[in-house]
């Protein structure tokens, strides 16, 4: 069985490592000169600036990604957040647990869940009925973790995430940042003599037997193709009608701090802001991620005017960091071909495509969880599907 | 000359890899032509092919 993987983002690399471990022959093709896509880092001015992610694994060492990394033998050390999160509210940092929310709001949540059994109700309906703290927390939490607002989501979109967070726990930070995960996967692949090939895939075609990948001047045959290029690009490459997908967009700030702002490894959600939903100080988990304290702040893009969104975000940062000496090292915005998420929470495409033998992985084809943990669940499914195909033959 | 097109999303990958620190990004990439060594690294690293080389 020969399998091709299109794209060496986290999804592609993780899929490749899994397939190699099961004994398949795998070739990985990547159009960019670097591996890891939106989940790696570049060293810049003394800091490990990531190409996308906030150096966080949603459910830390207990989540689906960590489990999968252990299974394929990828050595990554993950520091679980303690506490999971705090909230900056009226100038004070508050520890967040179930009890932080007033009983009345917890009851409103239960009632809201019940209502959803009968019809789909937007989370903004719930927001309206909550006390100020709970409402602001909901907004900040969704903005940080999904780059979306309550009016863009309903319970069914987020319930699996809520459940996973409840049972698996909060985030963790890999020592070495995102790139450590990518490097560990490349090492696993290398142990099977598999190296990423620098080729842009230009088309995927169905053949009488298997599939073919087309490059600038050549083409190659495979039994199956796993695409990490995202649903839009994958369908385009296969000559199919491109699915309509709503992505999530956001802006990330990487900040160097002289004095620490927070003293833990979790997220501090910021509640009294225009845009910024939260900050994490990743050097608390791994001091080697930056020369000084390394803070990241994240906001969703509410309007489509990027310059305006950044101006609002910078105003927030000025307030959050009042009295601190800081330098904004990098401002990164994510949309279109390079978004925060290719599909909004709960709207992922299936891992299977209309083309037999062509599968999708990555953040447009996640399983029931968020970000890289959702990617791991999707990959598990694809591997199972491919094994089923092999058994049939 | 290195030119940034409309496709730019502002992800700053080009700025992170430019060996001459000739790129600034705030919503969109801007090349400081006087600093640019014309190595074309940014062009290859841009994930959305937003950078073009114009003679
Ligand atoms: C600001 C921000 C913050 C985030 N924070 C977190 C976080 O803290 N935790 C978390 O878990 N997730 C986070 N995410 C999400 C996470 O980064 C993504 O879900 C993940 O990196 C997506 O991986 P992927 O493999 O699906 O896609 P990508 O990383 O985009 O990889 C796709 C790869 O395919 C290649 N490719 C595309 N087309 C072709 C082709 N035709 N031929 C060859 N190669 C091709 C691309 O070049 C790319 O390398 C964040 C994202 C952003 C933007
Ligand atoms: S890498 Fe490309 S998309 Fe990203 S900021 Fe630079 S030019 Fe824009
Ligand atoms: S061509 Fe080279 S020096 Fe010029 S902006 Fe791009 S990366 Fe920087």
Domains of chain A: 2-79+176-245+345-392 (3.50.50.60)
Name the average pLDDT for chain A: 95
Measured between beta carbons, the chain B residues lying within 8 angstroms of A310 are: 26-27
pLDDT tens-digit map of A259-269: 999 999 999 99
Q: Nearest C-alpha to atom 6 of ligand 3 is from which residue?
A: B42
Report the SS3 class of residue B9.
Answer: coil
Which residues span the domain enclosing B8? 2-53
B12 closest CB neighbour out of A37, A306, A330 = A330
Transcribe A341-369 into DSSP letters: BSS-TT-PPPSB-SSTTEEE-STTS--SS
On chain A, the residues whose CB falls within 8 A of the CB of B6 are none
Q: For chain A, where are the alpha helices, taking DSSP H only?
A: 10-21, 64-72, 103-118, 123-129, 132-146, 155-168, 178-191, 231-237, 306-320, 371-392
Q: Which residues contact B32 (CB under 8 A, 6 or more apart)?
A: B22, B23, B24
Query: What is the pLDDT, as a whole number, of residue A118?
Result: 87
Lowest-pLDDT range of A9-13, A56-60, A111-115:
A111-115
Q: What percent of chain A has pLDDT over 90?
A: 87
Contact A136, A272 (CB under 8 A): yes
At A301, phi and psi to the nearest 5?
Answer: -95, 110
A187 near A74, Cβ under 8 Å? yes
- The answer to whether A332 contacts B11, with C-beta atoms less than 8 Å apart, is yes
Cα–Cα distances (Å) from A68 to A17, A61, A306, in that order, read 10, 10, 37
Tokens representing residue A324 in the block = 């601190």
pLDDT of residue A116: 87
Q: Which pLDDT value is given to residue A98?
A: 84
Residue A164 has pLDDT above 90, yes or no: no
Does the structure's ipTM exceed the value 0.95? yes
- What's the burial of B19, exposed, middle or buried (CB within 10 Å: 0-12/13-18/19+)? exposed
Round to whole Å and give the CA distance between A268 and A284: 13
What pLDDT is attached to residue A82? Answer: 87
Residue B24 class from Cβ within 10 Å (0-12 exposed, 13-18 middle, 19+ buried)?
Answer: middle
**Whole-number pLDDT of residue A167:** 84
Instruction: With beta carbons under 8 A apart, name residues in chain A contacting B47.
Output: 32, 37, 51, 337-338
Q: Is the CB of B51 under 6 A from ligand 3?
A: no
CATH number at residue B42: 3.30.70.20
pLDDT over threshold 90, residue A282: yes
CA–CA dist A356, A388 (Å, integer): 13
pLDDT 10s digits, A337-390? 999 999 998 899 999 999 999 999 999 999 988 999 999 999 999 999 999 998
Tell me if A13 sits within 8 A of A40, measured CB to CB: no
Between the CA of A281 and the centroid of ligand 3 the distance, in Å, is 31
Question: Regarding beta strands A250-257 and A211-214, do their DSSP bridges make them parallel or antiparallel, or are they unpaired?
Answer: unpaired
* Distance from the alpha carbon of residue B9 to the mean position of ligand 3, in angstroms: 18
d(CA A42, nearest CA chain B) in Å? 6
Q: What pairs with residue A358 in β-bridges?
A: A225
Q: How far is CA B29 from CA A247, A250, A385, B43, in A?
A: 22, 16, 42, 12
Domain count, chain B: 1
Per-residue pLDDT of chain B (55 residues; tens, 9 = 90+): 999 999 999 999 999 999 999 999 999 999 999 999 999 999 999 999 999 999 8
* Ligand 2 atom at minimal distance to the Cα of residue B12: 5
Helix (H, G, I), strand (E, B) or coil at A3: strand
Question: What CA–CA distance (Å, rounded) separates A280 from A294?
Answer: 8
């Amino acid at each position: 069985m020969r399998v091709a993987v299109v794209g060496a983002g986290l999804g592609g690399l993780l899929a490749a490592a899994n397939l190699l471990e099961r004994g398949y022959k795998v070739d990985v093709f990547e159009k960019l000169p670097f591996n890891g896509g939106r989940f790696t880092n570049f060293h810049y001015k003394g800091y490990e600036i990531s190409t996308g992610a906030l150096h966080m694994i949603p459910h830390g060492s207990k989540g689906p990604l960590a489990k999968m990394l252990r299974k394929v033998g990828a050595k990554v050390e993950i520091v679980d957040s303690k506490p999971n999160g705090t909230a900056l509210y009226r100038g004070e940092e508050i520890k967040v647990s179930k009890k932080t929310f007033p009983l009345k709001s917890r009851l409103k949540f239960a009632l809201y869940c019940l209502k959803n059994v009968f019809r789909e109700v937007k989370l903004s309906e719930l927001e309206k009925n909550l006390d100020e703290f709970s409402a602001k927390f909901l907004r900040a939490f969704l903005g940080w973790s999904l780059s979306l607002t309550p009016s863009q989501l309903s319970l069914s979109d987020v319930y699996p995430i809520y459940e996973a967070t409840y049972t698996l726990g909060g985030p963790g930070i890999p020592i070495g940042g995102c790139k450590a995960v990518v490097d560990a996967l490349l090492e696993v692949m290398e142990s099977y003599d598999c190296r990423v090939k620098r080729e842009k895939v230009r088309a995927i075609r169905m053949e009488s037997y298997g599939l073919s990948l087309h490059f600038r001047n050549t083409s190659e045959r495979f039994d199956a193709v796993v695409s990490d290029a995202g649903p839009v690009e994958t369908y385009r490459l296969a000559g199919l009608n491109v699915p309509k997908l709503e992505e999530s967009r956001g802006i990330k700030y990487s900040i160097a701090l002289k004095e620490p702002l927070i003293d833990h490894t979790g997220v501090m959600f910021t509640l009294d802001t225009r845009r910024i939903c939260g900050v994490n100080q990743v050097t608390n988990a791994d001091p080697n991620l930056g020369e000084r304290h390394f803070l990241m702040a994240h906001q969703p893009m509410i309007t489509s005017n990027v310059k305006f969104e950044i101006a609002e975000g910078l105003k927030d940062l000025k307030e959050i960091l009042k009295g601190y000496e800081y330098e904004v090292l990098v401002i990164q915005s994510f949309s279109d071909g390079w978004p925060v998420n290719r599909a909004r929470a709960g709207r992922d495409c299936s891992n299977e495509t209309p083309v037999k033998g062509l599968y999708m992985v990555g953040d447009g084809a996640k399983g029931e969880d968020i970000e890289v943990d959702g990617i791991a669940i999707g990959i598990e499914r694809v591997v199972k599907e491919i094994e089923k195909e092999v058994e049939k033959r | 000359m290195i030119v940034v097109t409309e496709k730019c999303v502002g992800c700053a990958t080009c700025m992170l890899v430019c060996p001459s620190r000739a790129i600034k990004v705030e919503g969109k990439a801007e090349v400081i032509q006087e600093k640019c060594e014309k190595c074309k690294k940014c062009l290859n690293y841009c994930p959305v092919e937003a950078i073009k080389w114009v003679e």
